[in-house]
Amino acid sequence: MKTLKKIALAVIVAASLGAVSTTSFAESDPGRISYPPAQSIDMVAAKIQTAIDALTSGSDSENVAKLIKDASDFSKEVNANDRVARSVAKAINTVKAARKDIQDGNSQQAETKLRDAHKAMLESKSLI
């Protein structure tokens, strides 16, 4: 009888854990758009390219800094494996450094860093 109670308790606990598991309900929030990793990497690279284009066309530093911030913020949408996450993080660190250069008035260094970050983002797509 004691063994039967232990088995029944174990089955009830396992069933309740499976019924209320957070991973079983893991899906995006209502109204939130989820992108596949390759598409989100392309979108971040496009945002970086937009910042590069704005910088080369002579846009003001405040506008370019905002475009760089948008690219940096959107990089959080990239959801893939650990290697891709590390590669994207390195590229975004370069983007953040470029933003700091823009704010300091070093547009030439910022452009170089943005081009490197754009190339790194496109290379991280091959790691998927």
Domain-wise residue ranges, the chain = 35-127
pTM above 0.75, yes or no: no
Per-residue pLDDT tens digits for 37-61? 888 889 989 999 999 998 889 888 8
The CATH class, in words, for 35-127 is mainly alpha
Per-residue pLDDT tens digits for 102-114? 888 888 998 999 9
Torsion of Cα atoms, 59 then 60 then 66 then 72, to 10°: 60
Of the candidates 60, 116, 127, 56, which has an alpha carbon nearest to the alpha carbon of residue 92? Answer: 116
Query: In which residue are the tokens 């983007």 written?
Result: 95
